[in-house]
Amino acid sequence: MTRSADDPFVSAVKPLVDAMGAEMLPPDEAGPDDVVLSWEGVDVVAVRLPQLADSLDHILAALERKRGKPLAELDRKAKQEVVRILEARGAFSVRHGVETVASALGVSRFTVYNYLNREKDA
């Protein structure tokens, strides 16, 4: 039995799936790396998690939406806060993470490293 998109369980998990940048699909289409969610013994929906690099882009877009303007338009203090948030979420463990963040913030890689080092010294 497959449940529809207006199912209460699917509706309940959708915000979390969206926040992760993941994709929901029918459980019978799940691949080996997908997570199948069950409710009351029934497979309800499969969740396809994004690749790490895609997650970083998704996180940057969410931060931009939350702040209401492009990250490059933020002041220095706000950019430092964004770097702090991204570090806590593991953004800099992704290959080219520093470069991706620097580009989104409109700063150099050196500046991002300075923001990171400032946090470690504090």
Which pair of tokens denotes residue 52? 């790490």
pLDDT band at 108 (very low <50, low <70, confident <90, very high): very high
Helix axes 76-88, 109-121, angle to 10 degrees: 70
Residue 102's CB is within 10 A of a number of other CB atoms, namely: 19
What pLDDT, in 10s, does the model give residues 47-85? Answer: 998 776 677 888 898 899 999 999 999 999 999 999 999
CA-nearest of 100, 23, 106, 22 to 56 is 100
